[in-house]
């Protein structure tokens, strides 16, 4: 964990990441289609202003943890570029160069946070280890995720 946080710290230095209102817990269960065909977003408990890349990272990590067994797809099988392309195709502004550089770090940071706080929220060691494995898996894909 110490080594990964050190590498993330180096990557984050000097980057300027635009902030925007984010959902903070964006997943399919927090959205619904209305009768007029539009979509509504629910469960705004974690909404705040933060780096907009956080919602992309959180969504990909949620996909990785989802599934009937709670494990979801292995990170190696996920196609983060598809979500990123979909986001950029509908976002008011495309991701900046700094956001593209930080994406691998953002993806690793979300499960790293879960791993670091697992003991505080009563989760067991297995969940912390699983989160750490996910963080390392995202970080190992940094070359693929970076421009």
> Percentage of the chain surpassing pLDDT 70?
82
pLDDT at 14: 92
Please list the ranges in the chain whose pLDDT falls under 70.
24, 26-28, 64-77, 119-123, 147
- pLDDT 10s digits, 9-18: 999 999 999 9
Q: What share of the chain is helix, strand, coil (3-state, %, to 5)?
A: 55, 10, 35
Nearest-angstrom CA–CA distance, 89 and 108: 24
Distances from the Cα of 57 to the Cα of 106, 109, 118, 135, angstroms: 6, 8, 19, 11
Residue 61 carries which DSSP code? H
| Domains, in order of start, for the chain | 2-145 (3.90.1200.10)
């Amino acid at each position: 964990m110490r080594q990964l946080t050190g590498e993330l710290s180096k990557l984050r230095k000097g980057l300027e990441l635009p902030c925007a209102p984010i959902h903070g817990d964006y997943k399919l269960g927090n959205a619904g289609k209305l009768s007029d065909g539009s979509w509504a977003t629910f469960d705004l408990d974690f909404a705040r202003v933060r780096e907009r890349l956080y919602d992309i990272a959180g969504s990909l990590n949620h996909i990785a943890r989802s599934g009937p067994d709670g494990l979801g797809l292995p990170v190696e099988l996920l196609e983060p570029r598809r979500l990123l392309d979909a986001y950029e195709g509908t976002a008011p502004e495309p991701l900046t160069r700094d956001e593209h550089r930080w994406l691998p770090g953002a993806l690793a940071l979300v499960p790293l946070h879960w791993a670091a706080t697992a003991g505080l929220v009563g989760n067991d060691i297995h969940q912390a280890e699983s989160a750490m494995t996910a963080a390392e898996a995202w970080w190992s894909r940094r070359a693929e995720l970076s421009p």
